[in-house]
Structure 1
């Protein structure tokens, strides 16, 4: 519905202004790419959590089977030992009675053959259980190794993001109290900058103070080339007065996001790491009923998240 609204608004703009179709096509393409990227990242995270849960469940199932087979093996071993004891006793009896009675000898021979047959069957069953147990232990070890490796990768990513949050906070300390916050949640680092630090009202040109903050952040990100950087532009709910190619808050939020992208890229952050998105007025963090709330909603969110390619590769093996 939002996409249709944007397209409809841009088509109207094309009939009433000098906006080129290329601008419209570029914006639509960027929007679709960003939306697809966001869905992909969300799906990868859900798939990752589902796979971890599935592997843990399989691991627990295998542990249960391992315990059952170990118990069955112990039972067979006990039966085998009991039969072996009976056989040894009968063999001893046989040796003692061999000289006394041929009938007794025949009877013991028959019993010995029967016990030997049972003993052989138990030995075969025990060998089969040992083979099954060995195979299950091998499979259990493999599953445990995969779960351990997955947990190590996830822990390493979490530690990396915590270290990145600390580095970003330290680098941007000079901008504390100027509408900038840094926090770590859901395995990501969120750098939020209010527009008063970055832009003049209604403008998408980054001011001198804002450029200092973005360049300082770029100095940290340029040393972390495996971190994905998503720039989100946000506005309050005050309708934007059409100005040139900018039709509304959607356009303004997108323009501001891409302006931040250019400053980052111009200061050493790889363009392959960066994505930009305009969120307009639809993701507020405060009420739009007060001036303070509106000021907080007019912001740029820079979302830093780890590259999950290595984890995805492990899950697909």
Structure 2
């Protein structure tokens, strides 16, 4: 992955995490878009993980093929070596026979020219046979050297393949370790939040783990009266319990989103519409969390989503009740994951 691109993503995430207080609609949507790009990057990492695994399997097949070629070359080399040794023995025998004939030709008193001629013909034939054997021997030696050269080249290729596989496996293990650690962190965070808010679950509050994040969904009745942004006593207690968990987990960033239904809000007390109401509610929650904990404000971000991200798009009272909600989104920091990507 391109390092510049990673730096841009990291800068975007940092900007999102360092934003506090009310966020204008266009600015927030832009920040949300960047956050979604980060999610796409995570999906990309998973697909990259799968792709690297598939390439590793292909490399294993290639290594197996090369190994078979090496085994075949070794067999050919063994066969050529055996033939070479046999030819050397034959050559030595022929050469010995040739020496004996030469000695006989020199020492023996040839009684007739005809017998001498026969010996000369036989000697010539032996010399021709010897020359042919020498030529064959040279050819076999040349073939054997070529086989050895090919064997060395394939062995080098095999070593390079092994090194490439090892590097890919190391990167896969690092990515899998980081992703596994992140998933475990999210699961542990969900359990901690569930334990802290167990008295509220099923009574207008639900906790969901998805897309590598923990979502705490609170219906309007848990926190606010209709059209108001002052958090009630029950809602403040739930937020204080949640703040205690967040305070102990400093590696978690928090986004508070206010959502309304699609019924137009009649402006009162300086509130013009659903945008204002949803933003006021999100900001009120941020202030309660900060005032009841030692959480670094840079970790929190408040956003108003108005009626434009409904859970249920129906125009019924039940659907509108679902849509009037607050979502507290808990996201683990991705610093360790970015370090692994930059190192590769």
Short-chain TM bin: 0.7 to 0.9
Q: Once the two structures are superposed, what CA deviation does each residue of 1:180-231 show, in whole Å capped at 9, x if it has no partner?
A: 0112223221111111111121111222211111111111122222222222
Match of 1:84 in 2: 81
- Does 56-65 or 228-237 show the bigger shift? 56-65
Structure 1 residue corresponding to 2:70, chosen from 59, 70, 73: 73
Report the 3-state secondary structure (helix = DSSP H, G, I; strand = E; otherwise coil) of the residue aligned with 1:91: helix
Does 1:307 find its partner at 2:333? yes
Deviation at 1:29, TM superposition (A): 7.0
Deviation at 1:33, TM superposition (A): 5.4
Assess if the C-alpha contact under 8 Å between 2:23 and 2:303 holds in 1. Answer: no
For 1:187 and 1:28, locate their aligned partners in 2 and report how far apart those are by CA, in whole Å.
25
Alignment CA distance shift 1:275-1:86 (3 Å):
farther
Does 1:125 find its partner at 2:150? yes
Match of 1:184 in 2: 209
For 1:84 and 1:272, locate their aligned partners in 2 and report how far apart those are by CA, in whole Å.
76
- Does 156-165 or 266-275 show the bigger shift? 266-275
Report the 3-state secondary structure (helix = DSSP H, G, I; strand = E; otherwise coil) of the residue aligned with 1:133: helix
Assess if the C-alpha contact under 8 Å between 1:204 and 1:259 holds in 2. Answer: yes
TM-score, normalised relative to structure 2: 0.78
Assess if the C-alpha contact under 8 Å between 2:186 and 2:212 holds in 1. Answer: yes
Report the 3-state secondary structure (helix = DSSP H, G, I; strand = E; otherwise coil) of the residue aligned with 1:98: helix
Does 1:43 find its partner at 2:43? no
Report the 3-state secondary structure (helix = DSSP H, G, I; strand = E; otherwise coil) of the residue aligned with 2:96: coil
Deviation at 1:273, TM superposition (A): 2.4
For 1:202 and 1:61, locate their aligned partners in 2 and report how far apart those are by CA, in whole Å.
61
Deviation at 1:164, TM superposition (A): 1.1
Match of 2:131 in 1: 106
Alignment CA distance shift 1:78-1:274 (3 Å):
farther
Match of 1:203 in 2: 228
Match of 1:278 in 2: 304
Match of 1:16 in 2: none
Deviation at 1:38, TM superposition (A): 2.4
Correspondence list, 1:1-317, <5 A: 27-28=24-25, 30-32=27-29, 34-101=31-98, 103=127, 104-266=129-291, 267-286=293-312, 288-316=314-342, 317=344
Q: Once the two structures are superposed, what CA deviation does each residue of 1:80-127 show, in whole Å capped at 9, x if it has no partner?
A: 222112112212222333211352433322221111111111111100
Deviation at 1:147, TM superposition (A): 1.0
Give the number of equivalent residue pairs. 293
Assess if the C-alpha contact under 8 Å between 1:34 and 1:275 holds in 2. Answer: no
- Higher gyration radius (CA): 2
For 1:107 and 1:231, locate their aligned partners in 2 and report how far apart those are by CA, in whole Å.
92
For 1:59 and 1:271, locate their aligned partners in 2 and report how far apart those are by CA, in whole Å.
45
Assess if the C-alpha contact under 8 Å between 1:34 and 1:276 holds in 2. Answer: no
Alignment CA distance shift 1:286-1:28 (3 Å):
closer
Q: List, as ranges, runs of 4+ consecutive aligned residues in structure 1 with deviation greater than 6 Å.
A: none
For 1:274 and 1:76, locate their aligned partners in 2 and report how far apart those are by CA, in whole Å.
66
For 1:85 and 1:254, locate their aligned partners in 2 and report how far apart those are by CA, in whole Å.
88
Task: Compute the RMSD of aligned alpha carbons.
Answer: 2.2
Report the 3-state secondary structure (helix = DSSP H, G, I; strand = E; otherwise coil) of the residue aligned with 1:304: strand
Alignment CA distance shift 1:107-1:252 (3 Å):
same
TM-score, normalised relative to structure 1: 0.84
Deviation at 1:249, TM superposition (A): 0.9
